[in-house]
Structure 1
Amino acid sequence: MHTPTNPFKQAMREQRAQIGLWVGLADAYVAELLATAGFDWLLLDAEHGPNDIRTLLAQLQAVQAYPSHPIVRVPVGDVALIKRVLDIGAQTVLVPMVDTAEQADLMARAMHYPQPEDPDGIAGIRGMAGARGSRWGLYPRYVHEANAQACLLVQAETVLAMDNLDAIAATPGVDGVFIGPADLSASMRHPGNPNHPAVKAAIDDGIQRILKAGKAPGILSLDEGQAQHWLDRGARFVAVGMDTVMLANAARQLRQRFAGAAPVPVVTGY
């Protein structure tokens, strides 16, 4: 039995745009509910969401029956942590705060098992697990086939990362580069203002540079018009919402439709 094909990685190779949703509530019930909505991918957030290995495992199990592809964002680019996330069933990993090609290369190596002849020339360092009683144990050739389905996304979200973007995007084993608008705006001295003209210009330029390297650009925007702009500019994976923001705003809007409700601010996500 062949290891499952990674549909997200395949879509990136075929240059098909994929629409996603940020999932930060760290709950398998919520993740399954959102998996029924038809998004191409769901980002399970362990950087800014209260996730650990067990909550990530439960969410991966919950969404496995649905077409939405789960992407795990780890809290930090740590080799051992990436190994654990892959072992519990993830195929696609998003690593935050990657500022250099050297960091990107280490993450790519962490995503790959050592192989006698890797077609991409990646010297894999992923550790070998023992007996597998979970998902990957069903596939007898998993350790030989996993590398081809591993998908690494790295986040460029600082001025330094944007300076090194061409080298980061050209790193073998990096499938896509996600530009983090919130952190990038802070790094550019416009904190809380990802729509500042200078930030938007940097993102626009970044998307073109990532495309030129033959890799997939990604981004998050809660503004539908802005999200469509990035798609039109060539972004391949775009998150258009966050579960926490959607829930908070829906609750506020519902309450305010009834008499006696005090005005409350709308949650923006930044």
Structure 2
Amino acid sequence: MPAPHNPFKAAINKGELQVGCWLGLADAYVAEISASAGFDWVCVDGEHSPNDLRSIMAQLQVLKGSGTHAMVRPPVGDTALIKQYLDAGAQSLLIPMVESGAQAQAMVDAVTYPPHGVRGVGSALARASDFSGIADYLTTARDEICLIVQVENRLGMDALDDILAVEGIDGVFIGPADLAADMGFIGQAGAPEVKAAVLSAIERIVKGGKAAGILTLDKELQTACRALGASFIATEIDVTLFAGGMRRAAAGSKAHLAV
């Protein structure tokens, strides 16, 4: 029996649109609610939210079989962390702050078993192999792992062609917020110069034969990225949805009950 099929990987590699939501509230209950909302995928964020391996695994458990695919972003592209996340059952990884072709290749090696990579062989202990229930896991796992690298500063943008040339990467994800800061527009991801850089990168990624992705709440930018061929676009964030809803509810209640 082979490793489970990764529908997200199959879809983006064919250019099919996958609409996603960021999960930063670090809670399995929230992840379960989000999985019922209708998004094609969610990103369980370990870089800018208070997630650890156990909270990420709990979210992977409730997302399993939901029809919403789980992507996981580790805090850093570290081989040991990647090994743990894969063993915990993550099949799609988003590696932040990739700045060179050599770094991208190191991430490919980290998700690949020897002799072609360096992923530690511990599948007998792993949730990923259904605790040794998937007999062919070791020989089929790599085919279903989706590796996305995130380019989010000028170094990464300058090295984009080298990154795109790395075999084994499924897609490149552009991070507008960090890119804006590095370009001198901190907090201004909507600046024309930043948008132009983002759209140029999306176009290069698609022409380079990789899937292109982005997280942006800017609907115009979402549309422009899709028009250029971006295939996975995160359009919402659970934290901002919840915080905004709570603030509006509080203000509305106070206004309604004011004498």
Normalised to the residue count of structure 1, the TM-score between the two structures is 0.91
Pairing 1:36-55 to 2, within 5 Å after superposition: 36-55=36-55
Residues 124-150 of structure 1, C-alpha deviations (whole Å, 9 max, x = no match): 111000523634132110000001011
Partner of 2:15: 15
Counterpart residue identity of residue 23, structure 2: V
Shift in CA distance, 227/133, structure 1 to aligned 2, threshold 3 Å: closer
Residues 73-124 of structure 1, C-alpha deviations (whole Å, 9 max, x = no match): 0000100100000000011100000000000000001011125xxxxxxx21
The percent of aligned pairs where both chains have the same amino acid is 46
Report SS of the residue matched to 1:245. Answer: helix
Q: Distance in 2 between matches of 1:97 and 1:260?
A: 44
Aligned partner (choices 171, 176, 184) of residue 171 of structure 2:
176
Q: Distance in 2 between matches of 1:133 and 1:9?
A: 21
Q: Distance in 2 between matches of 1:79 and 1:134?
A: 18
Pairing 1:125-140 to 2, within 5 Å after superposition: 125-129=118-122, 131-132=124-125, 134-136=127-129, 137-140=132-135
Please, what is the CA RMSD of the aligned residues?
A: 1.5
Residues 161-213 of structure 1, C-alpha deviations (whole Å, 9 max, x = no match): 00110111121111110000000001101111111111111111101111111
Pairing 1:165-204 to 2, within 5 Å after superposition: 165-204=160-199
Partner of 1:257: 252
Counterpart residue identity of residue 46, structure 2: A
Shift in CA distance, 30/168, structure 1 to aligned 2, threshold 3 Å: same
Report SS of the residue matched to 1:189. Answer: coil
Partner of 1:163: 158
Q: Distance in 2 between matches of 1:232 and 1:113?
A: 37
Q: Distance in 1 between matches of 2:165 and 2:136?
A: 29
Q: Which structure 1 segments of 5+ residues have no match? A: 116-122, 262-270
Report SS of the residue matched to 1:67. Answer: coil
Q: Distance in 2 between matches of 1:68 and 1:172?
A: 27
Report SS of the residue matched to 2:148. Answer: strand
CA drift at 1:233 = 2.0
Q: Count the aligned residue pairs.
A: 255
Report SS of the residue matched to 2:38. Answer: coil
Shift in CA distance, 135/157, structure 1 to aligned 2, threshold 3 Å: closer
More helix by share: 2
Report SS of the residue matched to 1:131. Answer: helix
Instruction: Please tell me whether the aligned partners of residues 87 and 126 of structure 2 are also in contact (alpha carbons under 8 angstroms).
Output: no
Q: Distance in 1 between matches of 2:237 and 2:19?
A: 12
Residues 28-53 of structure 1, C-alpha deviations (whole Å, 9 max, x = no match): 11101100111111100000010100
Instruction: Please tell me whether the aligned partners of residues 90 and 128 of structure 2 are also in contact (alpha carbons under 8 angstroms).
Output: no
Q: Distance in 2 between matches of 1:130 and 1:77?
A: 21
Report SS of the residue matched to 2:112. Answer: coil
Aligned partner (choices 234, 237, 240) of residue 229 of structure 2:
234
Q: Which moved more, 1:63-72 or 1:219-228?
A: 219-228
